[in-house]
Amino acid sequence: MKLAWILWLASVLPPQAADSLCLSTTLYLEARDQSVRGQKAVAEVALRRQDSGRWGSSMCEVVTARKQFAPTIVSPNTRLTNGEAWAQAVTIALEAERNWQLPAGQRTEIVPGASHFAALSIASPSWRNAYQVATIGDHTFFQVERLRPRS
């Protein structure tokens, strides 16, 4: 599957299905070579951002906000070819969404407060000196800003 096709499909699906597809795609592109824990942490950052509304109200808006996540950084012609990694990304995305629907005090949080993440071996973002929440696999998770759920 090409990334461009997946993003088109998300544009015609019902919102909940589209959001799950966008989160799954982001997990695949950002973290398919990471542990389950690392993939869950990436999902948590995206879900926290969605909650805040700062990058958009839907998951698809959040992960396609300019230069924020892989869907806008890699080529639209990128092919998602690893079926096993795709299946795992879908499973983790759906589990993360279910977890995030719980009241805040009942959720399992892996990177509490993290608003950003980066693979510092290949990226040097301007906010790399922010508070480091955790490092899981190749990703370091940061609390660059305190995100609060929309009122």
**For the chain, how big is the Rg over CA atoms in Å?**
14
Is 69 in a helix, a strand, or coil? coil
pLDDT tens per residue, range 48-106: 999 999 999 999 999 999 999 999 999 999 999 999 999 999 999 999 999 999 998 99
Measured distance CA(148)–CA(151) in Å, rounded: 9
Do 19 and 64 form a contact (C-beta atoms < 8 A)? no
SS3 94: helix
Q: What is the pTM of this model?
A: 0.95
